[in-house]
Structure formats: structure tokens, C-alpha cells
Structure 1
Amino acid sequence: MTALRITDLAALAGTTVRALRYYEDLGLLEPQRSATRARYYPPDTAAIARQIVDMRRLGIPVAAIAEALDGLKTDRPSLLENLLLRRREEMEAEKAIMTGLLEQARQATATRRSSTVAPGGAR
């Protein structure tokens, strides 16, 4: 694969050009520049951009993503793993809350339905 234009990278990462520029401003992505100053990206940038997009969709703050990605460049690759493990734990707790709320909603619906049924089954 050859160098990617920002529009191509956005399509591969499932995001917008604007979001990629924001990630650049934060130092999460580093474009290279052509002689005409046009942005281009090495092909391996697509995987990094996709990780960033996926982590944002999981609700991980950009500052935490930046720290974790920086850890990959240094001697602290476990930062990313720890970040993802923490988020998974949070999501599991959120799932438990959601399950409880859904059950309450179902019970409320069932109670409402049963209270509107007249004797003999007629409404």
C-alpha cells in the first residue's frame, strides 16, 4: 500500500477528516508532508487511527489514549493494555446497571399491563 491521503485514511479508520486533524493537533497522529505541504500518512497509520477511533467509541478520553499510545513508543506498552482492561471493567459494571434497569422497566410494563386487564380477561 502506498502513502495515504487524509481522506483515504479517514475512510479506512471509519472517521472524518476533521476528527483526524483533531487527533493530529493533539499529537496522536503525525502526518508527513509532501513538497507542496499536502498531508500524507504511511500505510501503518491506518491501524493506529482505527485504534484511536475505536477507543473513542468506547468512551475512552483522548488524554488517556494519548498516554497509552505514547507508552507504545516508549518502554511502557502495558499502559494501553491496562487502559483497555480498566475500560472493560467499567463496561461490565455499566452492563450490570443496564440489565437491572431493563428488568425494572419490564416489570413496570408487566405491572401496568396486568392492572389494565379487567376481570375475565376483557380490557
Structure 2
Amino acid sequence: MRIGEVAARSGVSVRALRYYEEQNLLASERSLSGQRHYPDSAVDRVRLIQHLFRAGVPSRSVAEILPCLVAGKAVTSALLDRLKAERDRIDKQIAELVATRDTLDAGIAEAAAKAAEGAPCRLV
């Protein structure tokens, strides 16, 4: 499939796909006219790359761990440690987000209770 179709199916820009190729995260074959052609599996790969980026994994780390996640290649102990460290970092980030959400929920509940009593709610 061509680059525009991969972009449309995966929800990323053509520019992002070109960046992924520059970073060796994604590969394409070129037609005689120079157009990029991707296998059907490229869409799932791009989605995985996006998930990793949204989790804050830098492209350098994505390039290291992607072959293990996609192709099931052998994992060295150093890479396994890196995967665990990324998972632990994401777990910490999730915990911080949950704590922030809980704080917002408490503030919303307090503001709603004051509004129900007719008392003004002042934001600091």
C-alpha cells in the first residue's frame, strides 16, 4: 500500500511516516517511479510506534525495543532491563495521572456541593 493509505489507516501524517523511516522504525520498498510501498502490517506497526511515543518512549528506545515486540527476536538481558525500566516509568506516570484525576474529582465534587448549596465557588 502507498504512503497515503498507510497514513489514512493508521491516523498519522505522511510526514510522520517519513520520520519513522528516517529513524529506522518503519521500512518501505520503492517502486520504479520512486513511490513508497508498505506491507499491510505497516499499519499495525505504526500504531504500535504511536502507542510507544504517546507513553513517552523516545525514538531511540523505540528503535531498540520494536524488533522484540514485533518480530519476537531474542532479547538480551540489557534490553530486557530497558523494557522493564520503560514499563516501570509508564506505571509511575499512570499512578501520577490517577492521583491528579482523583484530586480533580475531589475538587469537582466540592464545587458541585457548594453550587448546590448556593454558595459561590472561588477558584484560586
Q: Supply the RMSD in Å over aligned alpha carbons.
A: 3.0
Q: Runs of 5+ in structure 2 lacking a partner?
A: none
Residue type at the aligned position of 2:94? E
Q: Distance in 2 between matches of 1:81 and 1:46?
A: 23
Does the 8 Å contact 1:13/1:49 carry over to 2?
yes
Give the deviation of 1:68 after TM superposition: 1.0
Give the deviation of 1:44 after TM superposition: 1.6
Q: Runs of 5+ in structure 1 lacking a partner?
A: 118-123
Q: Which has the larger radius of gyration?
A: 1
Does the 8 Å contact 1:5/1:40 carry over to 2?
yes
Q: Does 1:18 align with 2:15?
A: yes
Give the deviation of 1:94 after TM superposition: 2.1
Q: Distance in 2 between matches of 1:83 and 1:65?
A: 13
Q: Deviations over 1:4-40 (max 9, x none)?
A: 1000111121111011111111110011111122111
1:59 counterpart SS class: coil
Residue type at the aligned position of 1:75? A
TM-score (norm 1): 0.70
Structure 1 stretches of 4+ moved >4 Å: 77-81, 110-115
TM-score (norm 2): 0.70
Equivalent position of 1:75 in the other structure: 74
Q: Does 1:7 align with 2:10?
A: no
Q: Deviations over 1:37-82 (max 9, x none)?
A: 2111111222111111222233332222112113345412985964
> 77-86 or 26-35: which moved more?
77-86
| Superposition map of 1:1-123 within 5 A | 4-72=1-69, 74-76=73-75, 79=80, 82=84, 85-86=87-88, 88-106=90-108, 109=111, 113=115, 116=119
Does the 8 Å contact 2:2/2:38 carry over to 1?
yes
